[in-house]
Amino acid sequence: MRFTLLLSLLPTFATSFTAPAGFGISQNSKVDLSAPYRFQSNTILHAEPNGAEPNGATNKKVIVLGGDGFCGWPTSLYLSEQGHDVVIVDNMSRRNIDTELGCDSLTPIKSPEVRCKAWKEVSGKDIKFVNLDVAKDYDLLVQLIKDEQPDSIVHFAEQRAAPYSQKNSKTKRYTVDNNVSGANNLCCAVIDSDLDVHIVHLGTMGVYGYGTSGGEIPEGYIDVTLPGGREANILHPAYPGSVYHATKCLDAILWQFYQKNDQLRITDLHQGIVWGTNTPQTAKDERLVNRFDYDGDYGTVLNRFLMQATMGVPLTVYGTGGQTRGFIHISDTARCIEIAINNPPAVGDRVEIFNQIAETRRVRDVAKLVADMTGVEVDFIPNPRQEAAENELDVSNRKFCNLGLDPITLDTGLFDEVTKIVKKYKERCDPEKILPASFWNKKRAEECASLDSSSIKFKTEETVEKKETA
């Protein structure tokens, strides 16, 4: 598929899951891989067994920015268990937002110090914790990089919720200030450290937008025909759907600049919606449990559905439920991060981009899957988001699959882990936090005005039983 660039911006391309297909990842020239996909790079990626590196090393020093968060914590434990030397950096901002919203994690998460101590007890491995604000404490960040001399820095330290970023002008400004300043500070700090550090950034599939162009979304770069018939391979056009997604688009531009200008080695991971809670590492001790967000601002859609079903609450599907999104299990997030760490671009190579998803599903289909399993009803409510009611999504994820990832797909057996967590900590759940509390604009707020958070009631006297299979 080739697109013609007629204006300074391309139309948005969005699109459906492409099953993993084997093809070579060496990219030394423009090669037509029979038209849905083409890219140009000097990067050669290698799948190495058991975390081994092409140079023979078996582990790396890794700083994980945002290592106390939903994705950062289980990733840190996974990297540590694989033999990497891990340093966690976090400023506790997500925990502060819990206080701001009056809604704690469903799971009772311990302090970073207690978590790291517990990990030492169960694994024998040390994880260092540093309380530092990447967006504000620049000098401390530079000194930390000089002191630790990491091989890689994994960047999770961004405000990660689209609804929260749309809540009001304060949260919009905070999201931009925190996310964009943090990304810029990280690049500057690596340059000022005079070290060759590989940056691995957790981005989002939302940078591409969710339209219905009918084509496959490639991994970061797309072939175009410019005026005059000139062919080019460019960064895929950005089409953000929230302030949060806009910051990820701005990040992507910063990565491109600093790679070109300062030869930084950068990998950007465009991740889908994460589901699941615990991983084999966080399940080793209750003090290691991962956070579980179920509220309308931070709860991811599948986790919200599973929580609602377990508590006997009708599943809240926004609009028609025709939104198609990419999904990935939390365990695969950690695996993908290590694959990226173990396959850095060479100095001088353009920013490496992976689409970090396992599969795509339509939201109403996900709701039906959960409803069929639990017997709860599905409630279609007004959509608080400014987005297309229906969209297709065709996404290439070949790079990770060719590097050995066997992705976890939505499976009712894996749902049991989440429902057990909900049942265990159900007394910590506030039903008034389930409905959306952030709206993309005034029109959306007006359309959702009939929603009454106090109307949500949990079934406390009866257990929601699974339907018997025929």
Catalytic one of 204, 310, 333, 419: 204
Active site residue 204: yes
Residue pointed to by tokens 């609804």? 163
Reduced to 3 states (helix: H, G, I; strand: E, B; else coil), residue 240 is coil
Q: Which amino acid is at 221?
A: Y
- DSSP assignment string, 248-289: HHHHHHHHHHHHHHH--EEEEEEE-EEE-S--TTGGG-GGGP
Active site residue 244: yes
- The count of residues in the chain is 470
Q: How far apart are CA 348 and CA 261, in angstroms?
A: 10
Pairing of strands 221-226, 127-131: unpaired
Active site residue 167: no
Report residue 418: phi and psi, to 5°. -70, -45
Here the tokens at position 255 are 């990565």
User: Which residues lie closer than 8 Å to 250 by C-beta, 6 or more apart?
Assistant: 176, 179, 180, 183
First to last CA, the chain: 44
Here the tokens at position 266 are 């950068």
Compute the radius of gyration of the chain from its Cα atoms: 22
CB contact at 8 A, 226 and 5: yes
Q: How far apart are CA 241 and CA 239, in angstroms?
A: 7
CB contact at 8 A, 345 and 43: yes
Q: How far apart are CA 446 and CA 321, in angstroms?
A: 19
Catalytic one of 248, 284, 399, 433: 248
Q: How far apart are CA 361 and CA 380, in angstroms?
A: 17
CB contact at 8 A, 156 and 74: no
User: Which residues lie closer than 8 Å to 49 by C-beta, 6 or more apart?
Assistant: none
Catalytic one of 138, 244, 258, 298: 244
CB contact at 8 A, 112 and 129: yes
CB contact at 8 A, 259 and 252: no
Burial (CB < 10 A; 0-12, 13-18, 19+), residue 464, is: middle
User: Which residues lie closer than 8 Å to 210 by C-beta, 6 or more apart?
Assistant: 14, 241, 323, 324, 325, 387, 388, 391, 393
Here the tokens at position 287 are 């003090």
Q: Which residues are catalytic?
A: 204, 244, 248
